[in-house]
Structure 1
Amino acid sequence: MDQIKIGKFIAQMRKEKGLTQLQLADMLNISNKTVSKWERGNGLPEVSLMLPLCETLGINVNELLTGEKLTDSDYKKKAEENMMDLVKEKEESKKKILLSVIVGIITVIAGIALICVAGMFEMAVQTRILFIALGLIVIAGGIFTACVLDMDAGTFECRYCKARFKPSAAAYIAGAHTITKRRLKCPECGRISYCKKRLTH
């Protein structure tokens, strides 16, 4: 889905209704920063807000996700395309998460193996240090790569305002986490909570 196109469409329909970003935000019980983010193409409305947004703007969800007004003949075709886009995005996110787990496991095992070799066999001190350093670099590199892949897959959903966002690399790495949640600060409401991993935007 073309987020820039959708954002411009939201802005166009809002203006046609004679609403400011703040007025639209108040009608949806969200911040005007969220509306601004949508209109800049930096994110999509979360599922719970799509119907209220469409009702307010006088459009349907299919038109929202397409980023344009649709004729009756285009409606079914675009609905199928939008559905396929959502399915494709979800599948790509699953693949990235799986790849991040595989990369993480393989590199940690390889790093531990190098460190074990350094401790099990006779070798010069410099060689032993080299093996240990190499093992630590492999582990750190693998964990970093796994984090980048996982961070790029989908978004995180704020527990309080339900906004979906991608955290910065620093916030992602520093955030305590469970398997499906990570402790992050929501850029919309500013609250810190365990945000749930979502496979789509």
Structure 2
Amino acid sequence: MTSTTRRLVLTSALALALAACARQESPAPADAAAPPPGAAAEAAPAVQDSDPAATPPPTQAGAATPLELEGLGDLRIGQAPPAGWAARGAQESPACSTLSSEQHPGVYAMVLDGKVQRITVGQRSQVKLIEGIGVGASEADVGKWFAGFRETPHAYEAAPAKYLTAPNADSGGPALRFEIGQDGKVSAMHVGTMPALGYVEGCS
């Protein structure tokens, strides 16, 4: 074999070896695809509980104060209304007026001759009696605590709607009266003295 032939053979062999190496894939570094520490935590937004039931509704102002025969907080039967109670588009006259307070939504005070004679807890109020009875309670629940109340027909709703009035309502002292709707539940509660306790339309 001549020297020229030998050089051609060696050159061809070297070229083939370099081509074979080029076809092999170099492995990527082990940490090349790994995100930097903390990157996953930064990229993923915090998951917050969106279930409305998990968040308790705000407590209505004044709801924790119970309704008693003597009154509601500083609003007392037989006394002048305290500051904060005023006529807001309700019935008002020198002899009789209906007052409300922003601290007790859904509660109304009937004032005759300057003195509170009746307090009404209506549909928008969460105020309850100390027995736990409030608007929305069933007639059966009322009967468990207040047996012997007089039943009279409701002035504006058909039976089974009715009024339930304490048997001592005519004694001259404050008494309790429930309005029961056609669904058999309390639609309003009143404490006060007669005749105001029995009024069905404003001051009459």
What TM-score comes out, normalization by structure 2 length? Answer: 0.23
Compare the two structures and name the one with the higher strand fraction.
Answer: 2
Pick the structure with greater CA Rg: 2
Compare the two structures and name the one with the higher helix fraction.
Answer: 1
